[in-house]
Amino acid sequence: MNIKQAVPWWLKIVIKILLSRLPVAYRLWHRLGIFQHGRMAPQEYALKVFERHLTQAGMADRVAGARVLELGPGDSIATALIVAAYGGEAVLVDVGAFADADPQTYRALAEYLKAQGLNPPDLSQAGSLDMILSACGARYLTEGLKSLHEIEADSIDLIFSQAVLEHVRLAEFDPTLAEFRRILRSGGLCSHQVDLKDHLAASLNNLRFSKRLWESDFFASSGFYTNRIRYGEMLKRFEAAGFAVEVCGEERWDALPLARAKLNQAFQQIPDQQLLISSFDVLLRSRG
């Protein structure tokens, strides 16, 4: 058991609340492994995730000339380079500028992609993140929902995210889906992997709290927020936004990881078969 696993969930909340209030740059927290936005930095992982969503969307042979949007690229703009290597154009949307700005990171990724038989752009003269994005023909937008508003209607062929939708603030979830619907081209698809576990101990400890406390800016800005939308409710929200929904896979606990009596009253009536789903993959198609 490593140190992170040994720290109880409640102490993680206390520690993250305290640390998030310190005047320390995100880059330092990231290097210390305390606050991280996704895991798209490793070369093999980033390519594997992208190709998995391509396969799920049935677009493995249709990337050339397509526009692909990644929601929540986190600590890397790797997707910009990967999409360009496939002949497409990437738009990356996040709630902050978290991406590694070291050009060498992306030069190494380009070499890795070449070794996989792909055709990434030449980054030998790219000395900054902006130059790398320019070489890839990509956009990197870092104001969340506001950035989605700026994207042209009917301009995106594929939207994907990897363990990101659960982090969208509850009040912004439906508006985010509405923007997905607006910017997708006819025949466009969304492919999402959604992690329903708490981000404290991979359990359901986030369901212990009242909505008032959990959705407060104080809690939501402390590095452990998830919107707590459960599986069935999330599917209904997808449908209400105008999507045809196809669940492509689910992972479940064998038994509830947290006693039902410890859940906040708002979650007490959710059936076990819903609470047992720890993550799922979903494909969304625009209706009409």
Residue found under tokens 């800005």:
221
What gap in Å lies between CA 167 and CA 72, rounded to an integer?
9
Residue found under tokens 């439906």:
174
Residue 163 to residues 61, 70, 111, 231, 279, Cα–Cα distance (Å): 24, 11, 27, 14, 9
- Position 38 scores a pLDDT of 55
- Position 29 scores a pLDDT of 46
- Position 258 scores a pLDDT of 96
- Position 74 scores a pLDDT of 93
- Position 1 scores a pLDDT of 45
Q: What is the mean pLDDT of each run of 10 residues along the chain (288 residues)?
A: 67 83 57 54 87 96 96 96 98 96 95 97 96 98 98 98 97 98 96 96 97 95 94 98 98 97 96 97 89
Domain ranges of the chain: 38-286
Q: Please, which residues have CB within 8 angstroms of residue 42's CB and are 6 or more apart in sequence?
A: none
β-sheet bridge partners, residue 193:
162, 281
Run of H or E including 23: none
Fold topology of 38-286: Rossmann fold (3.40.50)
Strands 156-162 and 184-195: parallel
- Position 244 scores a pLDDT of 97
* Stated pTM of the model: 0.91
182 CB-side CA count, 13 A: 13
Residue 88 to residues 69, 71, 119, Cα–Cα distance (Å): 11, 16, 11
Handedness of CA 105, 192, 250, 163 (dihedral sign): positive
Tokens of 271: 């059936």
